[in-house]
Amino acid sequence: MIVVVGSLNVDIVVPVPHHPRPGETVLGGDHARHPGGKGANQAVAAVLMGALVAMVGRVGDDDEGEFLLGALEGTGVAIDDVLVSRDAPSGIALITVDAEGENAIVVSPGANARLTVSDVEGAAGLIERAEVVLLQLEVPLAAVERAVQLARGTVILNPAPAAQLPGALLDEVDVLVPNRGELELLSGGGGDVVASARRLRPGQVVVTLGARGAVVVSGDAAEEVPGHAVEAVDTTAAGDCFCGALAAGLDEGLGLAAAARRANAAAALSTTRRGAQPSLPTRVELDSFNMSPGERGSC
């Protein structure tokens, strides 16, 4: 079983010819409303890969909260430990997607920012039983730290949005999954991806590199996972898709490199469709996808 401790947001997505500069107004296309949030996206990505998944988080006591809970429950994610805040609205993400499929996102956390250590401790039995605990940084760091302390299985941390993290937390993480920008912030500099990953405390780091694929660094070993040739229309939630599929692979018993290769293909496939959760592929779709790496893709 996988337990995801993280955020749930309603995504308001607007296609634009280009992302606005400061002070600029850009006329976009018709907006769309989708269920999202890094935590919820990763939970759905994992359950669509065939994993048993439970979510720990918070929504507001509003229509958006009902929408988010219904979307999760509809995919098969267990929502018994998603709590309802009476004093805050549900989280919302405002997303623009340009003609190249690249996105820019502003998040209003709302109820996500009210997830407490006590909330996490209320789900202690669930977290302790999980084979994999998957976390991100769209909820308070104290809640993330407590979930890591409670976990008995494999701990995966996607350090997004990018933030400096205490060494004590990184010491308890089994698999860190940053993108290149997050890696640079955590490692204290740019340069070689493998060298930067090895400067971090976790023994296993999977760095996602967008169209280039990913790099798996485990101790002294490093393996490149090339990107896939796809026509990307929207990269929203591609990284979340990668994390959820990676967690599902590890929960299934795959080695880290094999799980990363499958996650990379799932993420590439997700970029061929618009939206966050609506773009996430099923296991059947992934199995029929051309898994051979190409010159371009996305993860």
Instruction: Give me the catalytic one of 11, 174, 234, 240.
Output: 240
Is the CB of residue 126 less than 8 Å from the CB of residue 56? Answer: yes
Whole-number Å distance between alpha carbons of 204 and 174: 6
Whole-number Å distance between alpha carbons of 109 and 114: 9
Q: Which helix (H) or strand (E) holds 9?
A: strand 9-15
Q: φ, ψ for residue 29 (rounded to 5)?
A: -85, -170
Amino acid identity of 272? T
* DSSP assigned state of 271: T
Is the CB of residue 135 less than 8 Å from the CB of residue 43? Answer: no
> Is 240 a known active-site residue?
yes
Sorted by sequence, the CB contacts under 8 Å of residue 115 that are 6+ apart come out as 5, 56, 57, 58, 83, 139, 140, 143
CA atoms within 13 A on the CB side of 12: 10
DSSP code per residue over 113-167: GG--HHHHHHTHHHHHH-SEEEE-SSS-HHHHHHHHHH--SEEEE---S-----H
Q: With b meaning 16 or more CB within 10 Å and e meaning fewer, what string describes 118-134?
A: ebbeebeebbeebbbbb
Amino acid identity of 133? V
Annotated catalytic sites, by residue? 240
